Amino acid sequence: PSTDISLQFEGDIFSYDDTTFYNYELSARYTFSMGLGIEAGYKALHLDSQDLVDGLVVDMDFDGPYAAVVWDF
């Protein structure tokens, strides 16, 4: 028998010279019948660079919870 609940963690990290980037997602999903389901989780993205392109300085963060209706086919 299979379960209708799934957990997922996915992440990326990159660092070189004065540039740091990371991105991760943690989520839980419950699938009803015929592939229809709901998902909730947390996402975060960070980019920090002192010299990205032609002296461009970047320091940004985006993060927060999310919810979605999903359909696997």
pLDDT tens readout for residues 47-65: 999 877 788 889 999 999 9
Q: What is the pLDDT of residue 30?
A: 96
Q: What is the pLDDT of residue 73?
A: 82
Q: What is the pLDDT of residue 22?
A: 97
Q: What is the pLDDT of residue 2?
A: 66
Those residues of the chain that have pLDDT short of 50 are: none
Report which of 56, 55, 59 is spatially closest to residue 47, judged by C-alpha positions.
Answer: 59
Pairing verdict, β 5-16 and 19-31? antiparallel
Q: What is the pLDDT of residue 54?
A: 80
